Amino acid sequence: MIIAVDGPAASGKGTIARALGRHYALPCLDTGLLYRAVGLSVLKAGGDPDRESDALAACTFQDSLLDEPALRSEAVGSLASRVSIHQSVREALVARQRVFASQPGGAILDGRDIATVIAPDADAKIFVTASVHIRAQRRFSDGIAQGGHPDMDSLIADIQARDTRDMSRDHAPLRMAEGADLLDTSDLTIEQAVQRAIALVDAQLEGRLRP
């Protein structure tokens, strides 16, 4: 069984994917981490994330990079969004995601193009979203919890810039796939969002079983 979870930055899709993984006992892949690893590798190599050849060269990153805490930063998220517009970068990361998706027993993947490109035949597809203000508020709270001094206006601007880039790129832009269910987490607690996601997945699985 494959479950595809897509959505914009800070929508809560990662939290929901991990909770679905625990509920259905399936392994999860946060595909954003792959793009983040490419973004961080370009930076470390002194390359230009907007130059396709530099970004492609960074796709041969070491797996150990996926464990680096720096990958989770806002700055690296933005680099990831920039390298992800290049078609050759996307192609270089496809095989790895499809191998994960097709492992025996199934898998959950979260990202931007899981239900549209990576696993269009997924058994269940959820598109997670939330208002820009709520997403910025979540990032703000995370920043405070980590002892930082986040600025709400720049968080809003960053999220809007990332949405625009991820949704308007030529290759595999972020969009809701046909057959996906929308889950708006703006007014939901994490627990409520997870319960709603489980209900949507169960309903989709049941629908597929019906003749």
d(CA 45, CA 87): 20
**Encoded amino acid at 1, one letter:** M
Contacts of 33 (CB under 8 A, 6+ apart): 66, 71
Hey, which residues between 166 and 205 contact ligand DC (CB under 6 A)?
A: 166
Which of the stretches 57-65, 78-86, 146-154, 175-183 binds ligand DC when contact is defined by CB under 6 A?
78-86
Indicate the residue among 34 and 200 with the shorter CB distance to ligand DC: 34
By CB under 6 A, residue 84 contacts ligand DC: yes
Q: Is 139 helix (H, G, I), strand (E, B) or coil?
A: helix
Q: Residue 84's closest CA among 175, 169, 177?
A: 169
d(CA 90, CA 23): 30
By CB under 6 A, residue 80 contacts ligand DC: yes
By CB under 6 A, residue 31 contacts ligand DC: yes
Which of the stretches 30-38, 56-64, 131-139, 141-149 binds ligand DC when contact is defined by CB under 6 A?
30-38
List residues near ligand DC by CB under 6 A.
9, 31-32, 35-36, 77, 80-81, 84, 111-113, 162, 166
